[in-house]
Structure formats: C-alpha cells, structure tokens
Amino acid sequence: MSNADRNPIPVKRDKPLAALTPRKPRIALVLGGGGLKGFAHIGVLRALAERGVEPAVFAGTSIGALIAAAHVAGVEIPEMEERARALRRRDLFRLNRLGMLLERTHAPSIYHDEPLRQVCAASVPDKRFDELDKTLLVNTVDLQRGSPVVWGLPGLRDVSVLDAVYASCALPGFYPPGDVGGRSCVDGGVVDNLPVSVASQGMDAVIAVDTGSSSIVTQRDIARHGFSAIYMRAATTMMHALQLGPLERWVGPPMILIRPNVAHIGWFSFTQTDELIEAGYRAGIDALEHMESCLSGEGGVFPRRQMRVSVDREKCIGCTLCVALAPQLMAMDESGKAVTRIPVVEWSPADGDFVHHCPTYAILAEPVEAAEGENQPEAMDVTSAEEGAERLKTG
C-alpha cells in the first residue's frame, strides 16, 4: 500500500455533508372547524397530494380534527369522498326527546351522542396519540377550566384519539361533552377554530384551511329560521371575530392561508358535498402556487395580492367605524366622509375584514388586476399595509 493510500489527501468542503443536501421543510397542516363545510378539507388534501406536499404535523378542530385523524389513520382520499357523499342527516342527528322531556333545561344536549360517535369511529383509529405514526393534534376546550386543551402535545398523548375527536366535534348544546383523559371537553372552536399557533411550533411553514369562519355573508330573515340557524349564525360570527386577531398579528413561520369559497353554504347542508370538495381543491391548487414564495419568506400570511380600496361617497354616512377598525388605511375628510389613505395595498386573505363591517356597504376592495385598463391617479402608491402605517407615522 502506497503512502497516498494510507494518507489520502483531504477534500476541502465549505459546508458539512449534511448541509449539501437541502433539508425538507417541516410543514404543519391545520384544518379548521365548520360543520359539513369542512368537507372542503378533503379537496385540499387532494391538492396537497397532487403537489407532493407531505405535512409533518396534522392539527384540527371539529370536522377538521376528524378529517386530519382519518388521514393520519391511512384513510385514502377517494374513500373520504365517498363517505362524505354517503352521509345523511339521520347519521348525525337523533333528538334527545326523552332527556329534554324529563330533564328539560338540565339535559346536556338536544341530540344524542351515539350517531356522532359512530361517524367518528368509522374513520378514526382506536389508538392513543402516542401510538400513531404521525403527529396529530386535536383541539378541544376543557369545560370545567374554561381553557383549550390540545391533545397530542407532549404530556397529552396517552389518551384515546377517538375520544378526543368526538369531543372536538361536540358542539355545545348540540351534543353532550366528551370525556377525554378525565376531562369534560367540547368543540375547540369555542376558543380557537384554527389552532395555528400551537401547530406552528418548530415548523418551517404552516398551511391553514379556514372553512367555518372565513367570511360572513349577509343572511336575511335569519331570526325566522329557528334555534339551530340562529345559534349557528351566532357561533360563526363569534369564531370569525376570534380568528381575526391571531391571523392579523401573525408572527410565526410563513403561513399559506386557504379559504375555500364556501361561505354561502350552510353548516349542515347534506346536498352540496361535491361542491364543497371541489371548492377546497380549487382553493388549495390556487394557494399552493404561492408555496415557493411562502417558504422563501421570513414570515407573514400568503398569498398576497394588490387590492384597490375605495369609498362610495353616496353610501358613506360618516359613522367613522372604518377609521376605528383600520386607522392605518382609513380617515375622515373635511366633509365627514370616509377616504382611503393608501388607495392600493397588498393584502393576504387575513386582511381587510373592516370592509365587511361598513353598515352601508360603502367600502369596496377589489383586486388591482380586475381593474386593468383604468386610468390610475399618477400619485397612487402601491405598498403593504405595514409599510403604509409606518409612512403615516413618520409623515
């Protein structure tokens, strides 16, 4: 053996071997609640599979928890679609007539728990969280403590996945609370319908799918539609308001926020399953086009679009609500009418909620590309809301 064989010349490398191979990004997929609107999650899962996106963590609330658990258990997407199409009202709702008759206001719910438990058991593994091959987080609320409990986190893994998923789906008043590890738990949407903060820990990016609280569309004569419709309208409004803060002030890893167009569909519509799945698929495909820019960013919510904000002066009544909600973008002129400080802004799906709150629908926000060809003011500025706010502070 030659000296060269005994003492090979070392190869100089600028980086260790591990750094030469790019690390696969760790992505958390968070599926929100929303009743049967959550069937849109199935379409999003199909879009992720086609794009080869494999999340490291799956998290969910209510139906989002059910679909996430089914996916982790290995239920194939076509089978999920078939089960969703086959679901009927009688499979979920059976009135607790005897309980309401005998216990009246002391009855825990208006529906029995058995049908919902059977739906969960058909897709959810009969295992503990620490027996799963993938990380699953199920969001619930501990009724006694009045605080969220996310099963699957460290120290909260030695409980039944099925029990946790049922509890996460147990909408208060509709179904009895579920017992999970000795805790009386209900639907996690009571506090956080889209648990992105918990799921994002240690992740490089988050994909969040919001189906239940994404937007509030006008519903006329809601008071005439009975207890269920009024309750769900109030619940949707509450969830929407609770969700705004965490998303508008997001400081975690980059987030892709997917909001399928399902606001016009009822929480418990059994006749629009295919439309829901397709809406989720289309929204997923569109949002994933921005995956590269999301992963290369340092933070924020994606996708981002340039939006033109304007005010219809004839409709504006000068109530100042828009200024109170969005002082960095809106102001009042000398005549007491609302005006935009920054006509064109860059918004994510989490921005611009104040537009909806105008009592006379006087504020209009539309994508800039939708108005191509129009004459634009020479001084019009294109900037982000954050940059605009900073500019206003500095004059």
Percent of the chain with pLDDT over 90: 58
Residue 345 tokens, joined = 């802004």
Tell me: pLDDT of 223 over 70: no
- Measure Cα distances from 202 to 27, 175, 197, 199, 286 in Å: 9, 34, 11, 8, 26
The H-or-E segment that residue 26 falls in is: none
Side-chain-side CA neighbours of 252 within 13 Å: the count stands at 25
| pLDDT of 278 | 98
The 10 Å CB-count burial string (b at 16+, else e) for 163-184 is bbbbbbbbbbbbbbbbebeebb
The 10 Å CB-count burial string (b at 16+, else e) for 198-214 is bbbeebbbbbbbbbbbb
279 φ, ψ (degrees, to nearest 5): -65, -40
Report the C-alpha gap between 385 and 395 in whole angstroms. Answer: 15
| pLDDT of 394 | 35
Residue 364 tokens, joined = 């209009």
Least confident of 214-218, 219-223, 227-231, 285-289: 214-218
| pLDDT of 227 | 63
Q: Mark whether 62 is an active-site residue.
A: yes
| pLDDT of 378 | 35
The mean pLDDT of the chain is 83
Top-confidence residue, 274 or 218: 274
The DSSP annotation for 298-315 comes to SS-EE--EEEEEEE-TTT
All residues at 6 or more sequence positions from 383 whose CB lies less than 8 Å from its CB, including other chains: 342, 344, 345, 346, 391
| pLDDT of 381 | 34
* Bridge partners, 136 (sequence order): 58
Q: Which residue type is seen at 378?
A: E
All residues at 6 or more sequence positions from 320 whose CB lies less than 8 Å from its CB, including other chains: 332, 338
- Measure Cα distances from 114 to 36, 118, 166, 169 in Å: 18, 6, 10, 13
pTM of the model: 0.80
Residue 373 tokens, joined = 């060809």
Tell me: pLDDT of 65 over 70: yes
Q: What is the per-residue pLDDT across 341-394, written as a single tens digit (0 to 9) for each?
A: 999 999 988 888 889 889 999 999 999 975 554 444 333 333 333 443 343 333
Whether a cis peptide bond, with omega within 30° of 0, leads into 303 is: yes
The alpha carbons of the chain give a radius of gyration, in whole angstroms, of 24
Residue 389 tokens, joined = 């706010």
Q: What is the per-residue pLDDT across 247-284, written as a single tens digit (0 to 9) for each?
A: 878 989 999 999 999 988 888 889 999 999 999 999 99
Choose the catalytic residue: 113, 142, 187, 351. 187
Residue 204 tokens, joined = 């490089």
Residue 186 tokens, joined = 């209900």
Closest CA to 352 of 365, 334, 335: 365
